[in-house]
């Protein structure tokens, strides 16, 4: 395994590759993303332990979407069981992935606990149990502060786990090492990831403005709901598809490396 430093312009290329690969298998990749959402929602609905369980399994499920992207890139049709790839190569790797998921769950819940110091737990409760977001809540200064704290703390957490599941799967390294190398890769390729994020933000804005313009021309507000949801699913699916390419370029031969049995 060798870390690679890529130029900043690579960030926009990752987005382009995500689009191109998605349209090779649009039904399969969007369907897998919907299954991913459904799985996380069902797990979260389990009383008491649901949210923690969903967070624990999130890295493995994300890896499944990356493997699906790899298969689509190679001209294959990814099947639903690809979401459980992390647990198909023996107990050692499955155990490592569960440990990684456990670290993620504890870390994320700690972030929510810290936000509770700012607003008494409103933000954390909304995330964990759901609820109604109203104007009063959004204009509450304490809630706004909690949301800002969550964003600030989640950024480094995201970098720690961005490549970690793939490193555990494709290179068979320990969860602790995978977190370290993931953080280093994100930091060393900071400008590429910055451009990657900005390009995706612009893409989402462009799609939203295009839909709004079409609705304005048609004059039928109901068309928004009929179009916005599938468009959001496709965009989110493309985003997850592009994550594979960020990993592939940051680590030498990542796409060709086979998991350790």
How large is the C-alpha radius of gyration of the chain?
19
- The tokens for 153 are 């703390």
Confirm if 59 and 104 have CB atoms less than 8 A apart.
Answer: yes
Structure tokens at 206: 């462009």
DSSP code of residue 3: B
User: pLDDT tens for residues 22-52?
Assistant: 999 999 999 999 999 999 999 988 888 989 9
With a cut of 70, list the residues of the chain below it in pLDDT: 131, 219-221, 224-225, 253-261
Q: What pLDDT shows up at residue 261?
A: 37
Which two tokens mark 195? 């451009």
C-alpha 194/C-alpha 198 separation (Å) is: 6
pLDDT the model gives residue 224: 67
* pLDDT (0 to 100) of residue 255: 47
Please choose, from the candidates 149, 201, 177, 229, the residue with its C-alpha nearest in 3D space to the C-alpha of residue 11.
201
pLDDT number for residue 244 = 96
pTM, 2 dp: 0.88
């Amino acid at each position: 395994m060798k870390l690679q430093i890529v130029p900043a312009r690579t960030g926009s290329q990752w987005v382009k590759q995500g689009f191109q690969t998605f349209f090779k298998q649009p039904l399969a990749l969007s369907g897998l993303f919907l299954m991913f959402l459904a799985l996380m929602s069902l797990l979260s609905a389990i009383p008491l332990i649901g949210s923690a369980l969903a967070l624990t399994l999130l890295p493995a499920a994300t890896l499944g979407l990356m493997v699906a992207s790899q298969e689509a890139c190679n001209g294959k049709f990814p099947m639903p069981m690809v979401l459980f790839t992390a647990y198909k190569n023996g107990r050692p790797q499955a155990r490592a992935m569960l440990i990684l998921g456990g670290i993620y769950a504890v870390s994320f819940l700690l972030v929510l606990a810290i936000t509770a110091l700012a607003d008494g737990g409103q933000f954390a409760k909304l995330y964990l149990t759901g609820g109604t977001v109203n104007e009063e809540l959004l204009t509450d200064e304490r809630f706004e502060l909690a949301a800002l704290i969550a964003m600030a703390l989640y950024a480094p957490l995201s970098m720690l786990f961005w490549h970690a599941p793939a490193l555990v799967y494709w290179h068979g390294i320990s969860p602790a090492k995978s977190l370290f190398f993931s953080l280093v890769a994100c930091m060393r390729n900071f400008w590429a990831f910055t451009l990657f994020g900005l390009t995706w933000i612009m893409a989402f804005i462009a799609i939203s403005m295009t839909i709004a313009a079409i609705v304005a021309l048609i004059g039928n507000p109901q068309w928004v709901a009929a179009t916005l949801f599938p468009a959001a699913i496709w965009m989110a699916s493309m985003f997850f598809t592009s994550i594979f390419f960020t990993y592939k370029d940051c680590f030498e031969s990542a796409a060709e490396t086979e998991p350790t049995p």
